[in-house]
Amino acid sequence: MSGSRSRSLVVRPWPSRNAARISCMAEPYLITKLESAERTWKELSVKLADPDVKSNPSEYQKLAQSMSELDEVVLIFRNFKECEKQLQEAKELAKENVGDGDMAEMIASPQRA
């Protein structure tokens, strides 16, 4: 792709004043776009497995390139969804153990692996 600019991901630390709002900071339209990209990636994956596509090198290459362009976005989105799931589970666990002193102590003391 000559002439195209490379995009880089800039990671900024979360401001501490916003720590309570981490739950889902992504805008709904962004989630919709990412879900669409993930669906497209899955569709391309199915098409690439099709014997007719495999027998057509130019079509296969075109689809593989399209899928490759989505790989990183889909991987990061899946990681995001997994983190959201884990965060929700942690919140539920914290609610269940509100009066549990042992649990509060365990949460308060950082453990290093």
* Structure-block tokens of residue 101: 């002193």
Residues 31-52: tens digit of each pLDDT: 999 999 999 999 999 999 999 9
Domain locations in the chain as residue ranges: 28-101
pLDDT (0 to 100) of residue 80: 92
Quick one: which of 63, 66, 72, 78 has its CA closest to 31?
A: 78
The mean per-residue pLDDT over the stretch 93-111 comes to 70
Quick one: which of 25, 23, 28, 26 has its CA closest to 92?
A: 23
pLDDT (0 to 100) of residue 71: 96
**Could you please report the per-residue DSSP string of the chain?**
-TTPPPP-----PPPGGGGGG-TT-S-HHHHHHHHHHHHHHHHHHHHHH-HHHHT-HHHHHHHHHHHHHHHHHHHHHHHHHHHHHHHHHHHHHHHHTTT-HHHHHHHHS----
pLDDT (0 to 100) of residue 96: 80
Neighbours of 78 (CB within 10 A): 13
Residues 4-25: tens digit of each pLDDT: 444 444 444 444 444 444 445 6
Phi/psi class of residue 81: alpha, beta or left (left: φ > 0; alpha: ψ in -120 to 50)? Answer: alpha
pLDDT (0 to 100) of residue 108: 64
pTM above 0.85, yes or no: no
